[in-house]
Structure 1
Amino acid sequence: MSPGDEHDGYGGSGQTRTRLPEGNTGDVHGGTRRPARGSRSLLTGAGVVVLLVAAIAFANRGGGDPAGSSPSSGTPGKAGATAPTGTRPVTGTNGTVPTGFAHDEQGAQSAAANYATALGSTDMYQKGPREALIRAVYAPEVVDARVADLGKGYGDKALLGRMGLQPDGTAPQGLTFVARTIPVGTKVESYSQERATVSVWHSYLFGLAGEESRNPVSEAWYTKTYELLWTAGDWKIVDVSQKDGPVPVGRDQRASSAQDMADAVEQFGGFTYAR
């Protein structure tokens, strides 16, 4: 699990479709060879990952199933096309979290992808935003327990200090805190009218961008599996598990400067993910 994960770490199958805002596209080709990173920075980053895994993994493992039996297993299918379906899958927001997902497999995939993005954000490290976010995405049957358990992990001041953050979960002056989940695709593991199990394959950016950072922004890859419940007219999380990968081979590109990374995070907004 990487720092920033809200859990162990977040039938037919399909890939998420991204609604892209207009903007410039970047160079997709490789650049010059990146310089080797100092061993101290690498060890520091690895240590942060291990620390947060220990603090949060247990907290986000829910207890038993509070809402009945598991959904029946779906039949695995081929990856679905990313063409528009004609059905608007998201109808509103709860704070910064999309809500109003369709009551079908596509809606469950949309919910899982957007919840992964929300729960992998910097808001999880600040008490007020964290509680609001958790209450927006978890099912009523488990939400109070998740608020308490995740608060212990993300609110641990000693842990935040080792990550380079201030006691309130924000970045020190002159640094930019980066915690961003980028879904690549989703897969329906099983589905029924009341319950769905959806896996989200994603990359994750985490670290502090800035010249004085001891925990530079790095990338990791995970697959999170969400147990979702249809309740009060929307899909909500009951439980989450995570595993590493699949991890692609890294491109031979030169790492960007700390300032370029900070500027990119501040200037490029996130997406609403939908089937």
Structure 2
Amino acid sequence: MTPPAIGHVSDTARWVAVYRALESERPDALFHDELAAVLAGEQGTTLAASGMLPRGARDHWPTVVRTRLIDDLILDALNRGCDRVINLAAGLDTRPFRLELPGEIRWYEADLPDSVAYKRARLAGRQARCERIARPVDITDGVATAEFLAEACEGARAPLVITEGVLPYLEAHQVRILSDQLRADGMHWWVMDHWSPAMLRMVNLTMGRELGSARWTFASTLDFFRGWSVETARSTFRAAADWNRSPLPLRVTALLPEIAPGPRLERSLLWCGAVRLTPRDREGRA
């Protein structure tokens, strides 16, 4: 039996780096990430060449569309007064190096010690566009996460936190604890990729063998996030159709209107996309 391509959830960062590198080669690329191939490394190259990546990896549209949508949400928040960015379980993300960022912004990253060390070694000598601080933190450790967030938020008026590609690998109670903690620490915005319960089942059915121990365990409707309101939402399927990244049968979704933030969106069992949340007690202040 062919072993799974993923031995640990942190290995998924190599996949994502491969996808970003492949997207960057396209003449119509949604973003350009010259460091993606560097971070994917030999393991990522081997995965791409061996056929162990999920089917359709050459145009793995959900991942590349997610990347661009979250880019846009971050840049928009920076234009609206965000003065601190905090990326939890940052993986091999390169936004501090590739986005047009104000030089005075502090960008904090947290991830497991091995991931932080690998990334530091691979990016040695590379200069970020802003001040970047990386800390070894397991975000499932509530005490360590609280200490990290206290440091990362110190002195910030409008901090933004990112949880890209991480929530599906947590348990529901862990997501709830994290959600409550982010509100208590005064986050002004929370940017995430949101996957519906239907997508959890589909991903595990179609990619479960490749995911191995990294099978998805969490998905929800958006109303799971108590105390938060959806400020901005962009559908993955609609954006993929607009940008000619989705399979042909799904291109018809470009004709469908976006669902506006509100009860219909927050209770949807099918909607998937990139969202920016704001605490309910801060609505209208962003």
Q: TM-score range by the shorter chain?
A: under 0.3
Bigger share in strand: 1
Bigger share in helix: 2
Q: TM-score, normalised by structure 1?
A: 0.26
